[in-house]
Structure formats: C-alpha cells, structure tokens
Copies of this chain bind each other. A is one copy, B any other.
C-alpha cells in the first residue's frame, strides 16, 4: 500500500493489488454498489486495482481484451481514430464511470481507444466476473443500464454543446463541463492540453489556443496553481448565449 503514492513514468500500469470491493470506500459510487459484500467471496477470477500514468493506453479500439474497467480516480478519454490519422475524442469520463461496457452487450471488441488523461486509478474487472455476478444478482443489470444511460446523456451533450456553434462558444462550453464535472475541492480543474481540447470540440489546435488565451486575458479563466484553473461560469454562459 505504500506504492499508492508512487508514480513512476512508464507506459506499464502499476499493479496495486487485489481490489477489496467489500470494503471499498467509494463503492456506493461504483459499478457494484448494488451488491452485498458477500458477493465477492466466490469470484472465479480476481478484480485487480491498477494505477496508470498520464497518457497511457488502457485499451485499444478493436482489440478483444476481456476486461471492463471502473474508474476510481482521474480522467479517461475515449478516442476514435480515423484511418487517416486524425482523431476525435468522444467522451471524457471520471470517477464512478465504467468503460468497456460494450463487451457486455455482445461487442466483439472495444469500440474506442481509452487513454488516461491524468493519473488514473481503476479496477480491472474480468468480463466473466461481471457476467457471473449478473446471473447471481439481476439488480446489477439496473446499474449497467444506468451507466449506459449516463454515457448516452454525455454523448448527446457532446453533440449539442461541444460540436455546435462557433469555436469560442465551444471552448466556453468545454470549460463549463470541466468546471462542473472535473473540479476538485477548491473548485479548480486541470486544464487539458490544447491538442486534447481541439480533438474534443473538433477545431484546430491554434484556434483553441487563441480562445483560451483570450479568456485568460479577459480574466474569465485564471490559474490557481500549477495547471489547476478556475473560471467565471457566468461570463462563460454569457459568451455562449451572445456569441
């Protein structure tokens, strides 16, 4: 457990050990919140707990791995890569979200590439384990349905907020999302790099840079420390409304 504070910069995930779901302190957030603690005693395959450094690939689109992941900490981006090399980020997920759920609905392989944005802490759940639990506890189905519905809502929001309107408005919407869903105790959030932001809203890197720089000059966006930022949500909403 002393490893928890380490963060080596390598592309391999760090194995933190077996997950102890029955005494997981964030289980109510998580995928298995419906289950009794006793459910985990008879699992055929273990659920493991890993830590991934920023930028590491959790899984690749099309690969046929057999794991679902539950995010405990950090941000994960789901990326769609076109054969021509350009890529578009279709979702940004944080603690409590589960990824790779398409495997449960019969997909032969992952539909996206999943990449850690910052340091990510997650539980790796064998597909067969979920299926086993699903048979024993039908209530787990509701949890899966809820996860899917939440991701569907996020995808719709992505279309409406991040893929519509002028570049300035999209950047403003993105900042509001970071502020709302990814801010910590002191209401500050990590400002993603320009490339990621560009891939989220579908504009050029330079355009994002210009908008962010302008927001900084206007004091609508300001640094707290390191790359933690705060924003003036009211001003951003005004920009989204009035253009």
Contacts and interface: CB of A to CB of B under 8 A. Distances in A.
Interface of A: 80, 82, 84, 88, 90-91, 101-102, 104-107, 111-112, 138, 141-142, 144-146, 148-149, 151-153, 155-156, 158-160, 163-164, 202, 241
> What is the predominant secondary structure among interface residues of chain A facing chain B?
helix
* Protomer copies: 2
A156 B155 contact: yes
A138 B111 CA distance: 26
A149 B105 CA distance: 7
Contact of A88 (B82, B111, B151, B159): B159
29 contacts: A80-B156, A80-B159, A82-B160, A88-B159, A88-B160, A90-B156, A102-B149, A102-B152, A104-B145, A105-B146, A105-B149, A106-B146, A111-B153, A138-B141, A141-B141, A141-B142, A141-B145, A144-B145, A145-B145, A145-B148, A148-B148, A148-B149, A151-B152, A152-B152, A155-B156, A155-B158, A158-B159, A159-B163, A164-B202
